[in-house]
């Protein structure tokens, strides 16, 4: 779950792209008014990102707009090692159909050898 901090009075939203050109917004915009705040968003509810092939590059984009009389917007880091934008998560590999085919052929071969030994 990525975490970010933005200055007051800013509308912000993330988007994703599977081709690097066409972006789809994730969820609803978050409007921050007041002191620096932290917000999170998750990708597990985005169905288009659940079964992406290993050769596909997923691009994330951050959109922000707005400004108040006290300042603009940006990422905030209050100490070394504290990042204004952090992307965390896990990627789970899904076996390709060819892996299942190779496994099936290997099991058939082992079964055939086992039956030959029993008959001998």
pLDDT, one tens digit for every residue, the chain (120 residues): 444 454 456 778 889 999 999 999 998 888 776 666 666 777 888 899 888 887 888 898 888 777 655 555 556 666 777 766 767 777 676 667 777 788 888 888 888 877 777 776
- pTM value is 0.58
Length of the chain (residues):
120
Q: Does residue 35 lie within any of the structural domains?
A: yes
Domain that holds residue 64: 3-94
Q: Does residue 30 lie within any of the structural domains?
A: yes
Q: Does residue 87 lie within any of the structural domains?
A: yes
Q: Does residue 104 lie within any of the structural domains?
A: no
Q: How many domains does the chain have?
A: 1
Q: Does residue 21 lie within any of the structural domains?
A: yes
Q: Does residue 78 lie within any of the structural domains?
A: yes
Q: Does residue 106 lie within any of the structural domains?
A: no
Q: Does residue 37 lie within any of the structural domains?
A: yes
Report in angstroms the alpha-carbon separations of 4 from 38, 62, 85, 96, 98. Answer: 6, 10, 5, 35, 40
Q: What is the DSSP letter of 84?
A: S
| Residue-by-residue DSSP string for 6-29 | E-SSEEEEEEEESSSS--EE-S--
């Amino acid at each position: 779950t990525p975490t970010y901090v933005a200055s007051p009075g800013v509308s912000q939203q993330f988007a994703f792209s599977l081709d690097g050109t066409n972006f789809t917004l994730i969820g609803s915009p978050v409007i921050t008014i007041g002191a620096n705040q932290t917000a999170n968003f998750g990708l597990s509810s985005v169905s288009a990102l659940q079964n992406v092939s290993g050769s596909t590059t997923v691009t994330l984009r951050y959109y922000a707009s707005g400004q108040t009389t006290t300042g603009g917007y940006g990422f905030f880091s209050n100490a070394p090692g504290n990042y204004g934008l952090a992307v965390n998560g896990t990627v789970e590999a899904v076996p390709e159909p060819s892996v299942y085919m190779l496994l099936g052929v290997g099991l058939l071969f082992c079964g055939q050898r086992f039956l030959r030994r029993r008959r001998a």
